[in-house]
Amino acid sequence: MVEISQPVTQSHAPQKRKVASEGLFAWLLVGPAMLFIAIIVAWPLAETIRLSFMEAGLGGEEYIGLANYADLADSRKFQQTIVRTFYWMFLSVSLKLILGLIGAVLLNAAVPGRGLFRVLVMPPWVIPIAIGCIGWLWLYNGYFGVLSGAAQAIGLTDGPTEFLAHKTSAFYSAIVTDVWVGTPMVTLFFLAAMQGVSRDLYEAAWVDGAGRWYRFRRITIPQIMPVIVSMALLSAIWTFNSFEIIWILTEGGPRSATTTLIVDTYKVAIGNYKFGEGAARAVIIVILLAIFSLFYLFFLNKVNKHYGVK
């Protein structure tokens, strides 16, 4: 028995050392990424949570417990800001998905100059957001803007129209700009998904006499549905956290008509130097996005199972 077990024990030793070295190598590979996440994400998040329990400003910090959260819970203005933010997000994302889907279908069609059209759709996404928003500022100007001049020329208005000076028009003007910025990316993602659909499916449907609309509903949409849902989630998160567009166009005005949670947090924390209140708002944003993302991922999993995507 001793003579048999001795070689087995010796053969196991190199195996254990190999497993240990592979484990160490794996930790060396993921270590820098984990350290990066800890420094860039985990520590700022922990500091934000800590500040949310403080009355913090330029003069120092004082622990006040849940007072910041209690004030937000009782604030009707903050509740309106939450509703406005989700309305902004859902409306903007819906328009991006619809226009992106239409654009992808057109760019996927076999028409002359298709490559040129695919290049021309990218500038709103490629150019810096600040430059694009400054261009929209000129368009929305009531006295020398193209939109106001065109409205006067065709008789829609009797005089200059300041699109960003009124609550309703400013809100929807900001949405138009956000849709203009985000639609090209959605279009390109949908176009890539459409090009991955097997042509055999379309040819078989065509042979059976299926029309274009039927093929679009029964083949294209089901095949790219997981991409649509995934793109909707990413676009929703980016739109929810959109700051530059609103800030450049209106700075949250007029009379808070375009103030979303991100803009409100910036105004309180940076503009008014109320770091504790701003941190509480930031924590609520993280919680809302986390809940929304969990529901969306659950829905995405259901869609993937329905269409057989692993």
Whether residue 116 has pLDDT greater than 80 = no
pLDDT at 52: 92
Residue 310 has a pLDDT of 54
Yes or no: say if 168 and 240 are a contact pair by the CB < 8 Å rule: no
41 pLDDT above the threshold of 60: yes
Instruction: Name the CATH superfamily, with its identifier, for domain 75-306.
Output: MetI-like (1.10.3720.10)
Q: What is the pLDDT of residues 222-280, one digit of tens each?
A: 888 888 888 988 899 999 999 999 999 999 989 899 999 999 999 999 999 999 999 99
210-218 mean pLDDT: 82
Domain spans, the chain: 75-306
1 pLDDT above the threshold of 60: no
What share of the chain in percent tops pLDDT 90?
41
pLDDT at 96: 95
Q: What confidence score (pLDDT) does residue 8 get?
A: 46
Q: How confident is the model at residue 109 (pLDDT cuts 50, 70, 90)?
A: confident
| pLDDT value for 10 | 52
Confirm if 200 and 206 have CB atoms less than 8 A apart.
Answer: no
